[in-house]
Amino acid sequence: MFKQFPPIAALLGTALCCAVAGCSSPQTHEAPEAAVAPPAAQPAPLLAHEAEVGKLLKQLTLEEKIHMIHANSAFAAGGVPRLGIPELLMSDGPHGVRPEQGRDWKPVDLPANAGTYLPTNNTLASTWNRKLGYAYGTVLGQEANFRGKDVILGPGINIVRAPLNGRNFEYLSEDPYLVSQLVVGYIRGVQDQGVSACVKHFAVNNQETQRSKIDVNVSERALREIYLPGFKAAVQQGGVYSLMGAYNKFRGQYATENAYLMNTILKEEWGFKGLVMSDWGSSHNTMDALRNGTDLEMGTDLVLKNNSLDQSATASTAPAAPAPTKNIYDRFYLADAALEAVQKDPKLVPLLDDKVRRILRLMYATHMLGDAKRQPGSHNTKAHQATALKVAEEGIVLLKNDGILPLKKSVKRIAVIGANATRENAGGGGSAQLKAKYEITPLQGLKNELGGAATITYAPGYKIARGQKADPALIAEAVAAAKAADVVIYVGGSFHGYDYTKWTDNAYDAEDTDKPDLNLPFGQDELVRAVQAANPNTVVVLLGGGPMDVSAWVGQTRALVEAWYPGMEGGNALAHILFGDVNPSGKLPFTFPVKLQDSPAMKLGEYPSTPGNPLKQTYKDDIWVGYRYFDTYNVAPQFAFGHGLSYTTFKYDKLTVTPGPQRATVLLTVTNGGKMAGAEVVQLYVHDEQAAVKRPEKELKGFEKVFLRPGETKTLTLTLDREAFQYYDEVKKGWVLEPGKFDVLLGSSSRDIRLKGSVTL
């Protein structure tokens, strides 16, 4: 039935094998528990070797301790051979293990450089499948082990606040609950392989423009309700071993060495016992870094050359860094300057010891030290490829469909139009950019699907080049191909166009740059309209890291598919969706506005910066991020948060809401009313009918992805604990659950509520 490369039959168990072998129903069943489910309980490995950590710490000299807390090459730090303490080796994720960068940002060509390129994190979030989060992390951990890495620098979980943020593809959602639910599985999947995950970027790093200069001010309520819950879940539920600071300032102090974020919240309130590392070059002050929670300063000679050490930042509070030495890493803030500061003030020694202790804890937890042996890992296995395929299949979102999809395999002439159809465009650019072992493009995926059963013609329609406008000759070629076809599959959207080895600005979805607008680049609007006029049987597929403005033609298109950056198996996954081998089940993890100006960051906030002062930004949108704004203020989205269509229908019924002591239990049935097996994401929202503060119209507080055969009914049980009803009170400086009546809303998106109940607490 499937003709993809490589084959995946029998890799994920009987259910998937059934689909591959050609059962009458398309693939919609869950992979078996053993393949993707996180363990029921988690130990506390960070604290399992405190005696050994204490013993090692006593043997270290002051100079050796300092050596442990700063980088000594591009992606390595520490190491004390005298005591058998190895270097800590890291690699960028968050979607795969990055090509080897060598000691000083010098690329090294290794056979293992080309590995599994998973779909980007926004694709993972679109699955709304906690189990796939664990499977995703497992692949990362196993391939990091194979490459000898101790830390994988992911997941990225910053809130998708501004749709222009160039790094949104690396993140999960605009909603803190959805982020919290998916991050836990990812972390456990990585760390169950004996590799540390590193959750990033803490905190309020929501744009790339001027990311190293901007000073963010956000209300305490918004900080607690929107921007921190994912990080708290990563620490307290996921048990993450390490965390990375952000580039931006927060309330006047750089986030990486921010006393309130790192000491008060992370380490004191949340009880984080692991390692805090800087982003590459995000440290700025020796004394702030020593005192305010930065345990490990990372960076490279390239970072230092591009962003020279700001010695003026340390002059008034710490000894200036010494003159340049042969080793540029000795010039880091937590290198020679920190050594001199500690030598002059012995009261700083306990702070230094705490940093080293946290590094050693991570080393024991990842089997770098102690008796446990490191797991050998594996690299680009068929199981890894199958996970990449599965995440893409469940993450692709069907946004619009008038019945043209799924396409019939009896179709004889297909025109594939759009330069993205042949572009290896698996993921966005920057530190998340990877080298795939292979990549199935959309055009190749369609050829794999149909073989020689149909004639497939291809026309690019546009050229991917900075500043490129609509090209009449290319449009004419595309129109001719469309007229000669029975069906057109248009594959366009965004691109990354980023070369991290040259740090160029030729990028659209990439690190260190934000998108200029939400328009389809290269004159695609004109092209799509022309193709639709030539052949109304046009299916539009968009690749990219987030919403695009489709208002110019979406009313005339018969079907619209959001394919994100779907990883190395993306072309196969797309073909399986378009031809009905897989019933789409993806749901949007963030709102798609009709136009950019509808976004709350643009409407209410100060994105990208305060006029007249580009270094300051106040989040005036406050808690009104994403659907919280659209639904509360009655702004119509293009596509709502949680939206995603299926080839079948689902009926919600028999809702009961049972109150408990500051909690509620919600039961309902869901029935597949169609003729095709499918999966529905049942979303549970809570509305506070009356509160002392203004609250959103609704907030996501539960969800469940349920897989159903035709005619099958399942009963779902969802639990709402006290946190589901609380808000943060800035006067009381804590969480409040006000007694009263709460509406309990069950639906298929934030704008498609099927059942409504209530509970009084």
Q: Which residues are catalytic?
A: 279
Angstrom distance (rounded) from CA 737 to CA 743: 14
Angstrom distance (rounded) from CA 589 to CA 157: 12
DSSP letter string, 520-560: PSTTHHHHHHHHHHH-S-EEEEEESSS----TTTGGG-SEE
User: Chain-centre distance of CA 683, in angstroms?
Assistant: 20
Cis peptide before 739 (omega within 30 of 0): no
Torsions phi, psi of 483, nearest 5? -65, -30
Phi-psi map region of 741: left, alpha, beta (phi>0 left; psi -120 to 50 alpha): beta
Tokens of 422: 């042949």
DSSP state for residue 602 in the 8-state scheme: H
Using the Cα atoms of residue 158, residue 163, residue 167 and residue 170 in order, give the sign of their dihedral. Answer: positive
Listed in order, strand segments (DSSP E) in 581-677 are: 592-593, 616-618, 637-639, 650-660, 663-672
Angstrom distance (rounded) from CA 570 to CA 117: 10
Angstrom distance (rounded) from CA 301 to CA 421: 38
Angstrom distance (rounded) from CA 436 to CA 475: 31
User: Chain-centre distance of CA 580, in angstroms?
Assistant: 27
Using the Cα atoms of residue 466, residue 469, residue 472 and residue 475 in order, give the sign of their dihedral. Answer: positive
Angstrom distance (rounded) from CA 447 to CA 425: 18
Tokens of 284: 């700025």
Nearest to 497 by CA among 509, 507, 487: 507
Angstrom distance (rounded) from CA 642 to CA 573: 21
Locate tokens 């960076």: which residue?
Answer: 299
| Cβ burial, residue 467 (10 Å; 0-12/13-18/19+) | exposed
In the sheet that holds 713-720, the strands lie side by side as 650-660, 663-672, 713-720
Q: To which H or E segment does residue 743 belong?
A: strand 741-749
Long-range CB pairs of 689-696 (<8 Å, 24+ gap) are 689/740, 689/741, 689/742, 689/743, 690/740, 690/741, 691/727, 691/738, 691/740, 692/729, 692/736, 692/738, 693/221, 693/727, 693/729, 695/727, 696/623, 696/624, 696/628, 696/631, 696/632
Question: In this structure, which amino acid lies at residue 24?
Answer: S
Tokens of 100: 């080897």
